[in-house]
Structure 1
């Protein structure tokens, strides 16, 4: 299962990168343009993905709720007013941190039990949390794709199968 979780995370990084390439090709104002959607702008949607990625990395590392909450508040401040290029760099940094964590963690299937003050204790594994991070990113990249189309531009396809075809073509 370890390889599957890591491959899914690689897909998450690949799909995020595809969106950064796409967004940098669009008119600059599209990134922060207000839109009636799930998020008020594409910038806000990307910020949300980044913040949640940092939260789950903290949880995978075994940090307590208060420490994770503090780091998420720091991430909220960190993303304010960032350009596409600056957000891209933040995403690269957090993905590097994930990869370092994966290299140091010998058992991604080991049980973990994060505790949330409202939802209680969750019995899960790091692999399942990786799946959640990937699903969360996929869901909100879908929001961003719809927002791009709503603003009159062509988006990018980031279905998992396209990642597999691209990876297969590199071999």
Structure 2
């Protein structure tokens, strides 16, 4: 599973970076787009802290983030996830936690990690739609595009 998760979290970091680079390049400051990207990044921090048994991350799940903050946060959390995956050998364990509304749950860490990447993809798609609706050009973050890039079949 380690190789699978390394692949997923490399893809996730790549996708977030592509979106952030696109937002910077087009100087996108739209409040709804910033809110969704902030939600993606904050969720990645929150889940990582839960899984590692750390105190709750000091982020707001639906915060008021500025583009410059998000660029740095996305880069940092992408690196933190990869460090966690690289340093962990067993993801097949149960995690009992409380969600952001303090409801108790127990889930398998593998399932949480798969969920988190899917959650990020879902919200990046919302950002792509909003970008197009607001006259900006979205960026392709499909997994197959990532695979083509890292295998040298497609140049960015």
Matches within 5 A, 1:77-156: 80-82=64-66, 84-108=67-91, 110-116=92-98, 117-118=102-103, 120-125=104-109, 127-156=110-139
For the aligned residue pairs, the C-alpha RMSD in angstroms reads: 2.0
Q: Larger C-alpha radius of gyration, 1 or 2?
A: 1
The 8 Å contact of residues 2 and 85 in structure 2, kept in 1 or not, is answered as no
Aligned residues: 149
Matches within 5 A, 1:1-171: 1-26=1-26, 28=27, 30-33=28-31, 41-63=32-54, 67-68=55-56, 71=57, 74-76=58-60, 80-82=64-66, 84-108=67-91, 110-116=92-98, 117-118=102-103, 120-125=104-109, 127-169=110-152
Residue 113 of structure 1: CA displacement? 2.1
CA distance in 2, matches of 1:81, 1:123: 29
TM-score in terms of structure 1 length: 0.78
- Superposed CA deviations along residues 16-50 of structure 1, whole A, max 9, x for unmatched, are 11111211121x3x3225xxxxxxx1111111111
Question: Runs of 5+ in structure 1 lacking a partner?
Answer: 34-40
Higher percent of residues as helix: 1
CA distance in 2, matches of 1:88, 1:80: 14
Which one has more relative contact order, counting CA pairs under 8 Å at least 6 apart? 1
Residue 60 of structure 1: CA displacement? 1.5
TM-score in terms of structure 2 length: 0.85
